[in-house]
Structure 1
């Protein structure tokens, strides 16, 4: 997996001039655009777009400082539609205008090319189990979002807040005997950076769920890696995903199966230190 991500980084450097094609980068990493962007963010803490922007502006600053290139030419070279947009982005990173980069003694920031290294930390156990499960139906409400520029991180958080406020989560909890709700990432076919995120429950009674206006979706049969998460939300679940993608996948003989993945939430106090939740990831043996 890390070797495949390195191939994508190599291609990104070659394609740094102009606009980057997420689908081309994902193909180089042998992943869907969704999983490539998600894996990249989990491992680096930044989106592909953020990384590319910092690298472009690093290279642009080097060119402006070392040569007599025109600002407008450098802006167009690195994919900016106008000198004004380029100048705004440049000042945000470097703290000065592009034209000031040529001045002797100008201080510029350099964002180096990223590299991936496997680190087996071993400071915390990861409790998980492997289960096979037949296909099942879920009921809930959905949001279409995208991984591009971290848009999903902002929109999903707001979606949960809205669904708690308008009573949707409470209605879903009452549709099941155990009160368990799910946060489900439903990937698109063909794969893209867009996906549907559902706040849902297991559809034990599809007719009742439909009467209340909920969507019904199918989750296909799969082999699941199920991780037990202990701690308050949302921090514990976010840390869990980070560890799964940055530590567990690189260190095991499994890869993501490409299907839906979901978070499982129990109806107790989600702010408690001992709150228990789960992350379900569909997997394949390499």
Structure 2
């Protein structure tokens, strides 16, 4: 079964559980990935977060139910997993621009968000060159992230993280003596969940004070080249890999540690070179 088919199976699971609490873990299993990966992948494919998609679908169904004059707002709220009428009213107004009570009035305009279906789009753009690399586990030394990184604010936190790390980059590069060579940005994943981010290098050198040692597990990687300011070019590459390459590649995104490799000291130069290393397994 292809990644595209698995993603549509996940959408079917979500659709079937809109009433009550959506079973995100079951949806992730249907997609053949972890919940964390599904939530990361979804915005690249749908241009909206998974949480917002679910909210829109719930509120679309709720609006339809409220058109029944006998329907009570509290009953509809409970049907779609909201124990608090206030929370339901807030979510409803965010989607429709009116309160649930106002939605029952004749002539009120309501929004409708249909169920998504993922399809393969052939765009005829430049080919996506990649190579498959079998990588044994490797030791890294670097500067670990601190605090909680929620999916919704991870990008913003990553930007500030790199600003804070910049003064230590040359010291890190001086430790590099292994493969993959150069400065790395590793997003660790353990048991299908985010387990920290680290600017680091592959090395057997002793760990300096203020830094940390971790091991990136052995994995099969699909490696993609990137050219341009990483603050924009890398995000665009992620979008193409997850929306264009992965669904038709014959691979699935493995629940492992993602690696970005920065080959140019000035990561924000127009000709900066970098790589995306995506852990993959053959799709079943």
Q: TM-score, normalised by structure 1?
A: 0.88
Segments of 5+ residues of structure 2 without an aligned counterpart are none
CA distance in 1, matches of 2:89, 2:164: 37
1:152 corresponds in structure 2 to: 154
After the TM superposition, which parts of structure 1 deviate over 6 Å for at least 4 consecutive aligned residues? Answer: none
Instruction: Report deviation, 1:69.
Output: 1.5
- The SS at the match of 1:109 is coil
Contact 1:223 1:282 in 2 (8 A): yes
Aligned length: 278
C-alpha contact (below 8 Å) 1:7/1:28 kept by paired residues: yes
Name the Cα RMSD after superposition: 2.2
Contact 1:188 1:196 in 2 (8 A): no
Partner of 1:201: 201
State the 1:241 CA deviation: 0.9
Task: Tell me, yes or no, if structure 1 residue 227 matches structure 2 residue 224.
Answer: yes
Contact kept in structure 1, 2:149 and 2:157, CA below 8 Å: no
Instruction: Give the match for residue 53 of structure 1.
Output: 55
Match of 1:12 in 2: 14
How far 1:77 sits from its partner (Å)? 1.8
Confirm or deny: 8 A CA contact 2:14 2:24 kept in the other structure.
Answer: no
State the partner residue of 2:165.
163
Q: Match of 1:66?
A: 68
Q: Which has the larger displacement, 171-180 or 73-82?
A: 171-180
CA-CA distance at 1:270 after TM superposition: 2.5
Q: Deviations over 1:240-263 (max 9, x none)?
A: 111111111122222223321111
**Aligned-pair distance for 1:168?**
3.6
Superposition map of 1:1-286 within 5 A: 1-143=3-145, 145=148, 150-164=152-166, 167-176=167-176, 180-189=182-191, 191-192=192-193, 194-205=194-205, 207=206, 210-286=207-283
CA, structure 1 residues 124+25, in 2 after alignment: closer, same or farther (shift >3 Å)? same
Of 67-76 and 6-15, deviating more is 67-76
Mapped to 2, the partners of 1:147 and 1:14 lie a distance apart of 26
Q: For residues 195 and 274 of structure 1, do their structure 2 counterparts lie closer, same or farther at Cα, with a shift above 3 Å needed?
A: same
Distance 2:208 2:26 in 1: 43
Cα 1:64–1:158 shift into 2, 3 Å: farther
**Partner Cα separation in structure 1 for residue 197 and residue 279 of structure 2:** 16
Moved more, 268-277 or 50-59: 268-277
TM-score by length of 2: 0.89
Q: CA deviation at 1:174?
A: 3.5
Specify the SS of the correspondent of 2:29: helix
